[in-house]
Amino acid sequence: MAEFEIIEKYFKALASSNKAARNLADDSAQFAVKNNCELVVSKDIFIEDIHFLLEDGGYKIAQKLLSTNLSDLAASGATPLYYMLGFGKSKNIDEKFIAEFCKGLRDLQKKFKIKLIGGDTSAAPKAFFSITIFGSVKKNQNLARFNGCENDLIFVSGNIGDAFRGLQIKLGEKNNYTKSQKNYFLNRHFFPTPQIILGQNLLAKKLSKCAIDISDGLLADLRHICKNSKLSAEIFLDKIPFYEKNLPLNQQLKLMSGGDDYELLFTVDCKNERKIINLAKKLNLKLSCIGFLTKKQRCEITLFNSQNQQIKLTKFGYEHF
């Protein structure tokens, strides 16, 4: 199919009844942000054989692509508004793939009340996709990785390493998991959960000023908070929420640096700890306190075991280059 045939048949439906998109008939989009609000913008790129395998299928690839961008908005406490799509079509992408890809986007659009407003398409030697996503926050209010404060508690949502387990299963790693467990890990890999509601609550209730989503690994993204907040972190291995208990140390460290969790890592003033516990109950969400920020050693992470012995860290997370 030609470029504009694809747009007409598949992508235009994702932008239907949406004035900002201009019916995908223009090279730009235009929209207003409500009074007393600021725009939050983020962008991600997915490249074949680096971020996904084409055999994963259009539906799964689209779901993860949009979910990871939504996760960036969650880390800012933002409300999703619109997104733009870059679609690099290789010769191995057929019409069935495109139909499944658009269904994956459409299902998430409905869930998070977000619409496509434009983008671009191109032929490519390997498939690649890119999303630029737009959200809004109240003026002068947002979560940011540079807002951590000394003695803040460090919290994380969900489990660490489940998506990385799913990746290993997808790549054929041998294991003793049941079929149900394998499906669970694979779902965590293909369908991450953007913690939009958690981020919005942290911001609206003024429970946190500092957050990041875990894309490159717990340790790597915590180090981003440390460096940007000019602080260090002390965390405790027995407080890290893993799916499995009593894992060997090397496996725990591997899961902490594996990445792709797309859970929220955020800091909280000690006085708000009880409110965070109550929020977890209200949202029916697992929130775990894993340590605290300190000025002892600037921009360093210190990991302790249950005997309060320091564990040497050699790998922090996924490296993009």
**pLDDT at residue number 46:** 96
Which 8-state DSSP code applies to residue 35? T
3-state secondary structure at position 110: helix
- pLDDT, residue 250, reads 94
- Rounded CA-CA distance 97/109 in Å is 18
Residue 18 tokens read as: 């949406």
Give the confidence band of 6 by pLDDT, cuts at 50, 70, 90.
confident
Q: What pLDDT sits at residue 134?
A: 93
For residue 293, give every residue at least 6 positions away whose Cβ sits within 8 Å of its Cβ, in sequence order, or none. Answer: 148, 149, 150, 151, 152, 154, 225, 226, 229, 231, 232, 233, 267
Q: Which residue type does 7 have?
A: I
Chain centre to alpha carbon of residue 219: 15
Query: Is-contact 252 242, C-beta < 8 A?
Result: yes
The answer to whether 299 touches 201, Cβ cutoff 8 Å, is no
Domains of the chain: 3-138 (3.30.1330.10), 153-311 (3.90.650.10)
CA distance 121 to 132: 14
What integer pLDDT is reported at residue 320 of this predicted model? 61
pLDDT greater than 70 at residue 24: no
pLDDT tens-digit profile of 161-216? Answer: 999 999 999 999 989 999 999 999 999 999 999 999 999 999 999 999 999 999 99
- Parallel, antiparallel, or unpaired for β 287-294 and 128-138? unpaired
pLDDT digits (tens, 9 = 90+) for 253-281: 999 999 999 999 999 999 999 999 999 99
pLDDT at residue 140, rounded to an integer: 83
Query: Average of pLDDT values for 99-123?
Result: 96
Taking only the tens place, the pLDDT of each residue in 208-257 is 999 999 999 999 999 999 999 999 999 999 999 999 998 999 999 999 99
| Averaged pLDDT, 293-320 | 88
- Give the tokens for residue 28: 């730009």
pLDDT for the residue 30: 60
- pLDDT greater than 60 at residue 54: yes
Local structure of residue 150 (DSSP, 8 states): T
**What's the mean per-residue pLDDT of the chain?**
92
Could you give the CA distance from residue 223 to residue 252 in angstroms, rounded to a whole number? 18
Q: What is the mean pLDDT of residues 29-50?
A: 84
Look at residue 315 in the predicted model and tell me its pLDDT: 86
| Other CB atoms within 10 A of residue 235 CB | 21
Q: Which two tokens stand for residue 178?
A: 């049941």
Here the tokens at position 149 are 């404060």
Between 12 and 169, the more confident residue is 169
**Amino acid 25: pLDDT:** 54
Looking at the predicted structure, is the pLDDT value of residue 149 above 90?
yes
